Amino acid sequence: MTDTREPLRLGTRRSRLAMAQSGQVAEAVSRVTGRPVELVEITTYGDVSREALAQIGGTGVFVTALRDALLKGEVDFAVHSLKDLPTTQPDDLVVAAVPVREDPRDVIVARDALKFTDLPSGARIGTGSPRRMAQLNAYARSHGLDIATVPIRGNVDTRIGFVRSGELDAVVLAAAGLNRIGRGDEVTDFLSVDTVLPAPGQGALAIECTAGNADLIAALGELDDPFTRIAVTAERSLLAALEAGCSAPVGALADLLADGQIVKEMRLRAVVGTTDGTRMVQLSTTGPVPETHDGAMALGRELAAEMLAQGAAGLMGERAQ
């Protein structure tokens, strides 16, 4: 029997991608709670500012307004792209669920259906991400390719529009975002994580509510995927230990390595580089899958310490405050 109580209110950004992923979460929450879920659209600073994300700090610009609405009781829970969440979690809020992760890779949408390595000499590739710029430029440099990375902002339509209009030869986007809005067929090339490591937490969502709402925390917990949570915890712990924000040129990915159907180990890879790709620190570590939150945090911190020892801090530009 359907619950007749008031609908649960889900706070979401207004962008097409945010609305799409929040709508998918709303359906899942409605299934596990038996209650209707309504979307409450909230405008964040990151949505209205025209500045480059690297300039406005990146960290929290898409999150603060949603968290304020949670704390004021205007919404019951909120959905964030996990890579947008600051690494420090407020005491009065809790990430009740991290659902199964979408494809974490970056992708190219290029003119004439070109692959990355088939782009012509001098190709202009648009991205707003210092992380992507650093790794694309490093790859191009080491493989004798001549590319120019061009800073851009805007939603998916705006970014792909730069390619359709001929202003750019290609743009780099997250596979997860295109998949969630049903535009995965526009991808012309998937960038291997061996070429471009994604942002920490890329492809994953965080479902957040107030720490005092035990019933809702329990209900939302039904959507949690333990393996995804362990992986993104390690990635975000590394980001925090580097004292870097989500706009810093840091890539990280925790892979779960399976023997048949049994997950045996976790490999954490990370990279920090200058945006021109001339200087990079790239390391990885492999070990047993952490069984606890603290274990995943320790894994990230240990790899970050090795990277700092190799000079990673000097490659990140301004350290996040």
Say whether 236 is catalytic: no
Say whether 31 is catalytic: no
Determine which one of 13, 67, 101, 131 is catalytic. Answer: 131
DSSP state of 154: S
Say whether 229 is catalytic: no
Determine which one of 83, 105, 180, 183 is catalytic. Answer: 83
Determine which one of 159, 183, 229, 236 is catalytic. Answer: 159
Say whether 72 is catalytic: no
CA distances from 224 to 48, 76, 206 (A): 31, 17, 9
CB-based burial label for 113 (10 Å; 0-12, 13-18, 19+): exposed
Determine which one of 13, 67, 84, 269 is catalytic. Answer: 84
Determine which one of 13, 101, 105, 132 is catalytic. Answer: 132
CB contact at 8 A, 8 and 36? yes
Determine which one of 9, 141, 153, 267 is catalytic. Answer: 153
DSSP string, 63-131: THHHHHHHHTTS-SEEEEEGGGS-SSPPTTEEEEE-PPP----EEEEEGGG--GGGSPTTEEEE-S-HH
CA distance 298 to 300: 5
CB contact at 8 A, 277 and 138? yes
CA distance 173 to 154: 11
Say whether 84 is catalytic: yes
The DSSP bridge pattern shows strands 280-288 and 262-273 to be antiparallel
Q: Which of 270, 281, 274 is nearest to 312 (CA)?
A: 281
Backbone angles phi, psi at 221, to 5 degrees: -60, -20
CB contact at 8 A, 146 and 122? yes
The residues annotated as belonging to the active site are 83-84, 131-132, 153, 159, 246
